[in-house]
Structure 1
Amino acid sequence: MVPPPTGIYGQKPSCYDKISNSFIMGATIGITIGMLFGGLSAFRSGFRGTELVGKMGITMMQSGGTFGTFMGVGAAIRC
């Protein structure tokens, strides 16, 4: 059986640690998805160069923030 995860000095991670780790994990996944879908949709819309990067960055930040928030709220409910 796998032992439960421990935090610093052998303590269990606090609720804040769980929420922040879930938010970071969700934001990373959201940014990756935003890069894929935002890049494809901006490319299909005819944006090139700086416009493409700008539209893709906006989509990445929006999807990262949204998915990170949902993952953080899910972790907060479980605490």
Structure 2
Amino acid sequence: MPLPSGSFSQQGPTCFDKMKTGFIIGFCVGMASGALFGGFSALRYGLRGRELINNVGKVMVQGGGTFGTFMAIGTGIRC
């Protein structure tokens, strides 16, 4: 028995949901690249211990925020 076409319609994610997902994915990619690049540059500068962790953490958050913002903007343009 077929279902009526109008009663059980499913909607896809809204544009804001897509932008949130794009930001989260971009934030994760930016954090990963920030860990790699920030870690290597901090080791090259000779940082150790707490200075190393603080510097790499700062670079990770900055990279994640930047890349996440651009991914969210790009996703918003595609909506």
* Structure 2 residue matching 1:10: 3-state secondary structure: coil
Unaligned runs of 5+ in 2: 1-8
In the alignment, the residues of structure 2 paired with residue 56 and residue 38 of structure 1 have an alpha-carbon distance, to the nearest angstrom, of 5
Work out which of the two has the higher radius of gyration on C-alpha atoms and give 1 or 2. Answer: 2
* Structure 2 residue matching 1:59: 3-state secondary structure: helix
* Structure 1 residue matching 2:48: 3-state secondary structure: coil
Matches within 5 A, 1:38-49: 38-49=38-49
In the alignment, the residues of structure 1 paired with residue 20 and residue 10 of structure 2 have an alpha-carbon distance, to the nearest angstrom, of 19
Identity %: 52
- 1:10 offset after TM fit, Å? 3.3
What count of residue pairs does the alignment treat as equivalent? 71
Query: TM-score with structure 2 length normalisation?
Result: 0.87
- State the partner residue of 1:4: none
Query: TM-score with structure 1 length normalisation?
Result: 0.87
In the alignment, the residues of structure 2 paired with residue 10 and residue 50 of structure 1 have an alpha-carbon distance, to the nearest angstrom, of 51
In the alignment, the residues of structure 2 paired with residue 42 and residue 12 of structure 1 have an alpha-carbon distance, to the nearest angstrom, of 44
* Structure 2 residue matching 1:41: 3-state secondary structure: helix
Unaligned runs of 5+ in 1: 1-8
